[in-house]
Amino acid sequence: MESFLITGGAGFIGSTLANYYSKDNQVVVIDDLSMGQTENLNVSENITFIEGSVTDQQLMEKVLREYQFDYIFHLAAIASVADSVARPVETHQVNFESVLQLLELIRKYQKDLKRLVFASSAAVY
The C-alpha atoms of residue 46 and residue 81 are separated, in whole angstroms, by 35
pLDDT digits (tens, 9 = 90+) for 22-66: 999 999 999 999 999 999 999 999 999 999 999 999 999 999 999
Q: What are phi and psi of 74, to 5 degrees?
A: -100, 100
Domain that holds residue 25: 3-124
pLDDT at residue number 45: 96
Distances (CA, A) of 92 to 3, 43, 60, 98, 105: 29, 32, 17, 9, 19
**CATH number of the CATH domain containing 35:** 3.40.50.720
> Total domain count for the chain?
1
Average pLDDT over residues 81-98: 91
